[in-house]
């Protein structure tokens, strides 16, 4: 695994737990974790159960005893690491968004498709797809329970940047992160509703806004205590992203991604409306779905709660008895189970790098729309400069 910290902890938990609950066709062995700081990386290895640590990701790519490379670094490093790993014959899982630009994502997808012909698999880490309630919502829509999908609403709301004195981290620097709320959490909303509905966005109209243009710089202890200095630096990404979209099936969508919605910590919600009913989901109640059956008798109409904890629900058979809830970290175990199974079976895991490229094109289309005064902008493939 290249990188550690918050997402490194989540992925490590997935690698540790998945083979203990799921009957996998191959057993992952956590050989090597890589980070820039030797002491911090060694501490992460000991904490999360990695056998060794290193400070150069090229070591992982070159080692014969490494079959899989898991990339959890900032977006500006995704392309270089993934391309090297795929060319070295390693299976690759890469955190979302796939890259910082469409051009990078196109190169990564091209190399991934060439590697697939040699049996090398790759996948993007949109872990929220694997929350059981979200996967079950996809199944219900595919079974026609909502009829013709007409309208989609998705919002991802956080407030951790609402304090203007919060320090300037890498997530606020375009050269490191690619974009702000749009790519960090808006990418989740795009992938999720496309996954659940089975239809892709083909065009968007949006606006991006940076609400706090400058923030305190981090001191020399960046990455450790994260203290702020008295100097200030420019925020070069969006704080709020709002956009509308049209899906291939004609449905309309509205999206919001913000890290400034005061009081909301990790409120990822979607509501999908069709001719026969509707589904609503809220990550803060991630074991539940709300379902509205428009075909029910008039006196019985209303949203009803579905508790997604039965063993027949997606991913839940190996876990706890009915009604015993799962949490955020379980999606990463499901991600590992799916990825390892696809490698062993020689099938393409999803979401693929091509899926990640599509999301990247939607993100870029929103950026271009905002720069052009919210003009309608296609998310279709186009030549990158």
Residue pLDDT, tens place only, 99-126: 999 999 999 999 999 999 999 999 999 9
Q: What residues contact residue 80 under an 8 Å CB cut-off, 6+ apart? A: none
User: Where in the chain are the domains?
Assistant: 6-128, 132-285+287-326
pLDDT at 229: 66
Q: Yes or no: is domain 132-285+287-326 CATH 3.30.360.10?
A: yes
Higher pLDDT, 380 or 384: 380
Which residues, in sequence order, are bridge partners of residue 254? 153, 244
Q: How crowded is the C-beta side of 350, counted as CA atoms within 13 Å?
A: 9
At residue 222 the predicted structure's pLDDT band, cuts being 50, 70 and 90, is: very low
pLDDT at 226: 55
Cα(34)–Cα(12) distance, integer angstroms: 12
pLDDT at 382: 52
245 close to 197: Cβ distance less than 8 angstroms: no
Architecture of domain 6-128: 3-Layer(aba) Sandwich (3.40)
The beta strands (E) that lie in 62-120 are given as 68-71, 91-95
The beta strands (E) that lie in the chain are given as 32-34, 52-54, 68-71, 91-95, 122-125, 149-157, 201-209, 214-218, 228-234, 240-247, 252-258, 267-274, 277-282, 288-293, 304-307, 377-378
pLDDT at 230: 78
Averaged confidence pLDDT in the chain: 95
Q: By percentage, how much of the chain surpasses pLDDT 70?
A: 96
Residue pLDDT, tens place only, 156-180: 999 999 999 999 999 999 999 999 9
At residue 218 the predicted structure's pLDDT band, cuts being 50, 70 and 90, is: confident
Q: Shortest CA distance to 189 belongs to which of 316, 289, 281, 278?
A: 281
pLDDT mean over 228-242: 91
Cα(30)–Cα(51) distance, integer angstroms: 6
3-state secondary structure of 50: coil
Residue pLDDT, tens place only, 38-86: 999 999 999 999 999 999 999 889 999 999 999 999 999 999 999 999 9
Residue pLDDT, tens place only, 255-272: 999 999 999 999 999 999
Q: CA 142, 256, 354, 383 torsion: positive or negative? A: positive
Locate tokens 């989540």: which residue?
Answer: 10
pLDDT mean over 291-303: 97
């Amino acid at each position: 695994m290249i990188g550690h910290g918050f997402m490194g902890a989540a992925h490590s938990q997935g690698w540790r737990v998945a083979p203990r609950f799921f009957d996998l066709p191959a057993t992952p062995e956590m050989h090597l974790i890589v980070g820039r700081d030797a002491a911090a990386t060694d501490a992460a290895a000991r904490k999360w159960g990695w056998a060794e640590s290193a400070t150069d990701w090229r070591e992982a790519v070159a080692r014969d005893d490494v079959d899989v490379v898991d990339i959890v670094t900032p977006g500006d490093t995704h392309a270089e690491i993934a391309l090297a790993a795929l060319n070295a014959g390693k299976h690759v899982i890469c955190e979302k968004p796939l890259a910082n630009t469409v051009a990078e994502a196109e190169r990564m997808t091209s190399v991934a498709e060439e590697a697939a012909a040699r049996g090398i698999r790759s996948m993007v880490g949109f872990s929220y797809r694997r929350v059981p309630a979200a996967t079950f919502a996809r199944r219900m829509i595919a079974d026609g329970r909502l009829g013709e999908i007409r309208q989609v609403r998705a919002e991802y709301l956080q407030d951790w940047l609402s304090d203007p004195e919060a320090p300037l981290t890498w997530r606020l620097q375009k050269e490191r992160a690619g974009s702000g709320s749009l790519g960090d959490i808006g990418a989740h909303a795009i992938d999720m509703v496309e996954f659940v509905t089975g239809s892709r966005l083909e065009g968007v109209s949006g606006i991006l806004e940076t609400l706090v243009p400058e923030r305190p710089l981090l001191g020399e202890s960046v990455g450790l205590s994260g203290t702020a200095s008295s100097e200030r630096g420019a925020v070069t990404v969006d704080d709020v992203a709002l956009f509308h979209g049209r899906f291939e099936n004609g449905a309309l969508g509205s999206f919001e991604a913000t890290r400034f919605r005061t009081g909301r910590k990790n409120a990822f919600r979607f509501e999908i409306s069709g001719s026969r009913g509707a589904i609503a989901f809220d990550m803060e109640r991630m074991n539940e779905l709300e379902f509205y059956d428009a075909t029910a008798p008039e006196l019985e109409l209303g949203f009803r709660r579905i508790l997604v904890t039965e063993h027949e629900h997606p991913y839940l058979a190996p876990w706890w008895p009915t009604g015993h809830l799962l949490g955020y970290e379980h999606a990463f175990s499901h991600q590992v189970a799916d990825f390892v199974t696809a490698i062993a079976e020689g099938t393409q895991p999803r979401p693929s790098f091509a899926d990640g490229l599509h999301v990247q094109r939607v993100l870029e289309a929103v950026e271009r729309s905002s720069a052009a005064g919210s003009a309608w902008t296609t998310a279709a493939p186009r030549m990158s400069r």
